[in-house]
Amino acid sequence: MVSQKIWQPPRLRRDDESELERHVTWLELFFDLVFVAAISELSHYLSHHISFYGLLTVTIFFVPIWWCWVGATFYATRFDTDDLSDRLLTLLQMAIVIAMAVNIHHGLEKASSIFALCYISFRGILVLQYLHARYHVPEAHKLATWYAKGFSFSIVLWGISLLFPFPWNLLFWGFGLIVDFSIPLKAGRWVAQVPPSLSHIPERVGLFTIIVLGESVIGVVKGLSELQWNPISVLIAFGGLCIAFSLWWLYFNCINSAPLALMYQGKMSLGSAWLYAHLFLGMGLIGTGVGVEHIVMNNTTIISKTPEVWLFCFSVSLCLITLSMIHRLTYSLGNHRFHKSLSCHHLAAAGLSSLLLFSPVSLSSLQLMVIMLLIFIVQVAIAINLSG
C-alpha cells in the first residue's frame, strides 16, 4: 500500500538525506519488467534475422528503448515520490514500452511510424514530469527547464520523421537521439546542484544489465529446447552458461561507478561516458545471447565463419571492449591500478575473440565454445588475482 499521501508534488531526493543508501523500489522493479519483454522481442527478431541488416535494425530499435529507460530512471532518482500520479504515469509508460515491443517483430519498414509515436509519447510524459518538478522544486528549476526544452526539441524532430517515408525518417530519429544524448552533457552546472543518487543509479544500471545478461541464459534454454540432448549439446550449453556467468562476474565484481561522482562537481563528460558505455554493453549482451542460442542448436556442425559465429564473436568482443573502456574511465580518475590492468586484459581478450573469425582451421560449435570459455576463465582468474 502507499505509505504516504495519495497525491504529492515532486520533491528533491538527495543522498545526504537520512536514507544514505537508497535502493530500488518495488515500482521500479515492476517497471523494469516491460523492458524484459522489449529485450526479449529484440533478441527474438535478431535470432531470426542474423545479418548485418538484422543487427542494424535491432540497434536502431534498442537505442531509443534504452534511452526511455534511462530518462525514466534519472527522473525517478531525483523526484520520485511513489504517489498516485507517479504510479499512474509509470503504468502509462509501461503500456507505451509494451507497444514498442509488440511492433519490433514487424521490422523497421512496417513499424517505424508506430514506434516513433510510442517514443514521442514516452518522452512527452517525461517532459511533462520535468515541467511538474520545475514548478514544485525551486532548486531544480534550471535543470528541469533545460531538460524540458531540450527533450521537447528532440520530440519535434521525431515528430517530423512521421512526415517522411522509410528510410528517410530514420535520419530524423538520429538527429533527435543526438539532441537527447547531448542535452545532459551541457547541464553540468545544474546537475551539480541537483545530482543523481550515487547509490541508486549504479544499482538501477546494474539491474538493467542483469535484464540484458539474462538473454544469454535464455539463449542456452532456447538452444537446448530445440535439440535431442546429447553429451556434446549439454557441454556446449554449459559453456554458454559459464560465459554468461563470467560476464556477470567481470561486471558486478569489478566495475566501479566512480565516474558518476564527478557529476557532483558538474563534470559530465566522464560520468556520461560511463553511462553511455552501458548502451554498447547492452547491445553486446543481446548479440551474445542470440549467438549462444544458435551455437547450442548447431552442436555437431562445423560453423566457422557462418553469420552465427560472426555475431557471437563480434558481440563477445563488444562486451569485452566496453568493459575495458569502463575500467579505463575509472582508472583515469586516479583509482586503483587494478582497473588499468583489467582494461588492458579485457582489450586483449576482445582481440583474441575477434581473431577466431579468421581462424584458418574449421571449428565446430564445441571447439568454438571451449576456446571462448577459456578466454573468459583467464579473464576471471586475472580479475580474482588483481583484486586479491
Same domain, 297 and 355: yes
Q: How many domains does the chain have?
A: 2
Same domain, 266 and 366: yes
Instruction: Examine the fold and report which residue of 163, 191, 219 is the final residue of a domain before the chain moves on.
Output: 191
Same domain, 207 and 179: no
Same domain, 97 and 245: no
Tens digits of residue pLDDT in 46-92: 999 999 999 999 999 999 999 999 999 999 998 888 888 889 999 99
Question: How far apart are alpha carbons 168 and 172 in whole angstroms?
Answer: 8
Which regions of the chain are under pLDDT 50?
A: 1-3
Same domain, 251 and 288: yes
Same domain, 30 and 65: yes
Same domain, 321 and 248: yes
pTM of the model: 0.93
Distances 185 to 230, 270, 272, 328 between C-alpha atoms, Å:
53, 10, 7, 20
Range of the domain at 369: 200-387
CATH code of the domain covering residue 357: 1.20.1410
Question: How far apart are alpha carbons 268 and 247 in whole angstroms?
Answer: 27
Instruction: Examine the fold and report which residue of 191, 215, 245 is the final residue of a domain before the chain moves on.
Output: 191
Cα 131 from chain centre: 27
pLDDT value at residue 226: 73
Same domain, 223 and 111: no
Question: How far apart are alpha carbons 185 and 271 in whole angstroms?
Answer: 9
pLDDT value at residue 306: 84
Same domain, 204 and 334: yes
Same domain, 245 and 376: yes
Tens digits of residue pLDDT in 208-233: 999 999 888 888 888 777 777 788 88
Instruction: Examine the fold and report which residue of 191, 210, 243 is the final residue of a domain before the chain moves on.
Output: 191
